[in-house]
């Protein structure tokens, strides 16, 4: 498993919280930030960006992944997600599918509520146990 130290977890949560401050969420008022750790130690931040038509809205997790992939990264170790709610904000189904495209089963997902009084650290396989990904298309 991709083990993270408490210091690494705290750093990722700090960066996710910073990213949350860039969120554009005028409709839901639910601001989310993410900090994605690549296998080589770089961090990419993302925030949710809403749209009045709702469908074009992009989650913080996907924003971080798309920035990292654009820069050539294809291997990832962990992501921290922090939202403005009283409860932890886990990745939506679409974000989980993006993670299935790029992440191993032991990819770490760290979630926290707005004041970090609730924090969860889980491997990806527990959030999407029977994921469909590139392995399923090998012939």
Instruction: Give the catalytic positions in this structure.
Output: 61
Chain centre to alpha carbon of residue 12: 10
Q: If you search the block for the tokens 């820069």, which residue do you land on?
A: 71
Nearest to 111 by CA among 87, 85, 81: 81
Cα–Cα distance measured from residue 56 to residue 10, given in angstroms and rounded to the nearest whole number: 31
Other CB atoms within 10 Å distance of the CB of residue 17? 18
Per DSSP, the residues of 19-81 read HHTT-B-TTT---EEEEEEETTS-EEEEE-B--TTSTT-B-HHHHHHHHHHHTT---EEEEEE
Nearest to 65 by CA among 84, 89, 88, 42: 42
């Amino acid at each position: 498993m991709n083990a993270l130290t408490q210091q690494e977890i705290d750093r990722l949560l700090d960066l996710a919280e910073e990213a949350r401050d860039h969120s554009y969420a005028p409709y839901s008022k639910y601001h989310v930030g993410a900090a994605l750790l690549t296998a080589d130690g770089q961090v990419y931040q993302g925030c949710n960006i809403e749209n009045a038509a709702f469908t074009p809205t992009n989650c913080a997790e996907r924003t971080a992944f798309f920035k990292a992939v654009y820069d050539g990264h294809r291997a990832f170790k962990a992501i921290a997600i922090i939202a403005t709610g009283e409860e932890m904000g886990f990745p939506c189904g679409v974000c989980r599918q993006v993670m299935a495209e790029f992440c191993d089963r032991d990819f770490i997902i760290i979630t926290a509520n707005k004041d970090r009084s609730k924090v969860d650290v889980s491997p990806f396989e527990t959030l999407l146990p029977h994921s469909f990904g590139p392995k399923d298309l090998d012939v």
